[in-house]
Structure 1
Amino acid sequence: MRLQDAVPQPGSQKRRRRVGRGIAAGQGASCGFGMRGQKSRSGRPTRPGFEGGQMPLYRRIPKLKGFERVNVKQYTIINVGALSELAANTEVTLSSLMDAGIITTDDGPLKVLGDGEVSAALTVRAAAFTASARQKIEAAGGTCEVLD
């Protein structure tokens, strides 16, 4: 493709409106801007976002740290590395981890994160797993069961 080949499609470009050339031309005198008012003055457009003096949208919305999420799902989280101290063939649930003292507070359903290593084969029952956590547990010979 060459520079001279880059031309607009036929019919895509319209001729510009010639305003202020008399009443017969259709856009004479006030040139389609009406009679009076802010929108008829020279240099007429107000700045982008101007709402006539009302507090504009970009100043009304929440600032800085983003918006609060409405229904945030709270999880009790644990890393795979914390499960490495458990014996092999152990069934891991939120209640068993609290009994063992690995988790001290119940902040909601259990979610397993992938930081650390696990060597024992464990049966882990949790509400959610990260992809790396699932991969590490299954690589050690364990299983991951997602609870409702």
Structure 2
Amino acid sequence: MSLHNLHPNPGATKTKKRLGRGRGSGTGKTSGKGVKGQKARSGHHGARLAFEGGQMPMPRRIPKRGFTNNNRVEVFPVNVATLESLFDAGATVDLEALRALGLIPKRIAKFKILGEGELTKKLSIKAHAASAIAKEKVEKAGGTIEIVARVASAAASSEPTA
């Protein structure tokens, strides 16, 4: 077996359609574009996406509404059922532990414990928020929930020098 012996399987390749190479080829003279007109010319690719024939397009017919809040804080939801499956009894659950498991992306700085599912393991949880049902389930299993504030960055917390 050598490189010069390698060939594609029969039927695996198609020959390129050669346009404008005589009438006998089937795509000679007008190259499959029909006769004159705008659609036969170069640069014709059809109407732009969402063009409605001159009618006022849908995005411009619908009124503008709302705004994007640049100061929105994204809080990642984590259910007690997820904690049950990921952590052993007696473990400490915090932002770093969840990030280490790949559950919370780096761009998100807060998470909230929600009460979907059952919890049987005793866990020590440090979360930014928790629902009432989640607190109840964690305490029923013998664990604790501590609500922590987001830690400010070192640069923001240091006092300015004179």
Distance 1:104 1:69, change over 3 A: closer
Residue 67 of structure 1 deviates from its aligned partner by 6.0
The answer to whether residue 144 in structure 2 is matched with residue 129 in structure 1 is no
> What CA distance in whole angstroms lies between the structure 2 residues aligned with 1:88 and 1:131?
22
Matches within 5 A, 1:1-148: 63=65, 68-69=68-69, 71-85=71-85, 86-101=87-102, 103-106=103-106, 107-148=108-149
Gaps of 5+ in 1: 1-60
- Residue 143 of structure 1 aligns with an amino acid whose one-letter code is T
User: Which secondary structure does the structure 2 equivalent of 1:72 belong to?
Assistant: coil
- Residue 84 of structure 1 aligns with an amino acid whose one-letter code is E
Distance 1:132 1:67, change over 3 A: farther
Deviations 1:93-121 (A, max 9, x none): 011112133x1413221211111111100
- Tell me how large the CA RMSD over aligned residues is: 2.0
> What CA distance in whole angstroms lies between the structure 2 residues aligned with 1:109 and 1:143?
18
User: Which secondary structure does the structure 2 equivalent of 1:81 belong to?
Assistant: helix
Identical aligned residues as a percent? 33
Contact kept? 2:122, 2:143, Cα under 8 Å: yes
> What CA distance in whole angstroms lies between the structure 1 residues aligned with 2:101 and 2:145?
19
- Residue 81 of structure 1 aligns with an amino acid whose one-letter code is A
Contact kept? 2:76, 2:104, Cα under 8 Å: no
Residue-pair matches, total: 85
> What CA distance in whole angstroms lies between the structure 1 residues aligned with 2:117 and 2:126?
18
Residue 76 of structure 1 deviates from its aligned partner by 2.1
> What CA distance in whole angstroms lies between the structure 2 residues aligned with 1:104 and 1:123?
18
Structure 1 consecutive aligned stretches of length 4 or more whose deviation exceeds 3 Å = 66-71
User: Which secondary structure does the structure 2 equivalent of 1:125 belong to?
Assistant: strand
- Residue 105 of structure 2 aligns with an amino acid whose one-letter code is T
> What CA distance in whole angstroms lies between the structure 2 residues aligned with 1:70 and 1:100?
29
User: Which secondary structure does the structure 2 equivalent of 1:87 belong to?
Assistant: coil
